[in-house]
Amino acid sequence: MKRFNSSRNFAALVLVFTMLTMPLAAIAQTQVKAPRNKYKVQDDVKAGREYSAQVEKEFPILRDAESTAYLEGVGRRLVNAIPPEFQQPAFQYSFKIVNARDINAFALPGGPMYVNRGMIEAAKNEGEMAGVMAHEISHVALRHATAQATQQSNPINQILGIGAILGGAILGGQAGAQIGQTIYASLLVLPYSREYETQADTLGAQIMARAGYDPRDLANMFKTIEKESGGSGPEWLSTHPSPENRYENINRESGLLRVSPNPIKITRGFERTQSKLRALPRAKTMQEIDAENKRNGGGNQNGGQNPTSSGKYETRVEYPSARTRAYSNGDLLQMSVPDNWQDFPSQSEIWFAPQGAYGDQGITRGALVGLYKPQNKNLADATDEYVGGILKENGYLRQNSGYTRTTLSGRTAYAAALSGRSPVTNRTELATVYTTMLRDGQLFYIVTVVPQDEATAYNSAFRNLLRSVRLTD
């Protein structure tokens, strides 16, 4: 702000005083106008509700209550900072983490937002992450999805294929549409126009400033995205403003806004969440998730994190059958499981559980079998990595002691005993992790799960399962 010149006449003094007492944003910031839209607000809400269910079937949603609560907190701060003229009481904003490595995020009409784990891990501070979220919130607040349907003069149920909506992901174009290739792949993939992206950048910067962040952090995040994505190809460049232009435009808008002299940057919640996510096993890319979905004939069984979510927990669960059935996974694994256990394949593992022992928080009885790619190739370090991930994902569990040496399929293996009060059964749960190395450096694991007071009834089934394992790599 320039220093006041006392030599100006009284009229100028009054004008300057008036300007100084007005909210700076009211006289300086770029005015954003929502596009023409023939659809009702409830159409946005309905579309978002329907497609969020599909998204969570296709993509691996991270089931970590603490990290999700942190993201929700940041999201609520931003939503509360949406200018009044763009507030929609009917919108149902929600915020979830996709367990994907790509630096990306997207939002659906009516409010559901999904932030990739890679985005949170790549951000240098909370402001950079919040900037991407503010950009996506702006697409929702301006109702860009249904506005685009209005422009195209197509029925909403035709134009709003998930690929079209996800064209509004922060990467947009090819990179954004990659997210939506499995879901409704036959529908149109229509990334948002340059005009809509510029609007979302501008309103996003304004929301950030109102929420206590520095909009320049959004500009800096675009630099990171550009570096990591390599520009994302000609289609991305043709449908979105270039990262360089976006960087300049957002910084220009920041100069017009009242930005806090002490904006939110590094917070305890951000540091804790970022550290927690970085310690988890390596996440797949969206391309890898898409390829795996196609191999599985479509949906990623409820997000890849929890393929058992369609079940219903019961207090009384049938004990393991003495009869067994064979299970094999290609040329790698052969084993036997109780005949009354159902199997639930996921991206890199399979869950076995009896009726009544599976639901939206995993299994209460049964076994989990899978592969993990560790950073370290020796068994002890690889086991440390995997067990650490289990403990982070299931905060109620604690490791009882060190590792016990055993064997799996004739190979050296480790066993780790974990226990804690299950949030599902409210009883002490025993989880035993068995690990061994494959020849290609991957960690093969089996985790058995049972309430402590039922362990005697399950021990024989667990022993038979472990003895039956044949690894043929």
Q: Which residue has the tokens 């709003």?
A: 160
How many CA within 13 A on the CB side of residue 439?
4
Q: Is 439 exposed, middle or buried, given 0-12, 13-18 or 19+ CB atoms closer than 10 A?
A: exposed
Pull the structure tokens for residue 35.
Answer: 């596009």
Q: Which of 253, 278, 303 is the last residue of a domain?
A: 278
Contacts of 228 (CB under 8 A, 6+ apart): 103, 122
Q: What is the pLDDT of residues 103-162, one digit of tens each?
A: 889 999 999 999 999 999 999 999 999 999 999 999 999 999 888 878 765 454 444 444
In this structure, is the dihedral angle defined by the CA atoms of residues 402, 407, 413 and 415, taken in order, positive or negative?
negative
Same domain, 256 and 328: no
pLDDT of amino acid 173: 41
Contact assessment for residue 113 and residue 138, using Cβ atoms and an 8 Å cutoff:
no
The stretches in the chain having pLDDT less than 50 are 1-27, 154, 156-167, 172-190, 231-240, 300-305
Q: What is the pLDDT of residues 442-465, one digit of tens each?
A: 999 999 999 999 999 999 999 999
- Containing structural domain, residue 454: 311-471
359 beta partners? 362
Q: What is the pLDDT of residues 263-278, one digit of tens each?
A: 999 999 999 999 999 9
Same domain, 116 and 231: yes
Burial 113-130 (b: 16+ CB within 10 A, else e): bbbbbbbbbbbebbbbbb
Same domain, 260 and 347: no
Pull the structure tokens for residue 61.
Answer: 């949603």
Angle, alpha carbons 232-346-462 (nearest 5°): 150
447 beta partners? 368, 433
Same domain, 253 and 337: no
Calculate the dihedral angle through the C-alpha atoms of 273, 275, 281, 285, rounding to the nearest 10 degrees.
Answer: 70
Q: Which of 259, 278, 297 is the last residue of a domain?
A: 278
In this structure, is the dihedral angle defined by the CA atoms of residues 204, 36, 92 and 166, taken in order, positive or negative?
negative
304 located within any domain: no
Same domain, 261 and 316: no
Q: Say how far apart CA 51 and CA 307 lie, in whole Å.
A: 19
- We report the CATH number of the domain holding residue 341 as 3.40.1000.10
Angle, alpha carbons 389-392-398 (nearest 5°): 100
Q: Which residue has the tokens 């035993």?
A: 432
Please count the structural domains in the chain: 2
4 located within any domain: no
The structure's pTM equals: 0.57
Same domain, 189 and 332: no
pLDDT of amino acid 170: 59
pLDDT of amino acid 184: 32
Strands 349-354 and 341-345: antiparallel
Q: Say how far apart CA 218 and CA 213 lie, in whole Å.
A: 10
Report the residue count for the chain: 473
pLDDT of amino acid 64: 87
Q: Say how far apart CA 75 and CA 145 lie, in whole Å.
A: 20
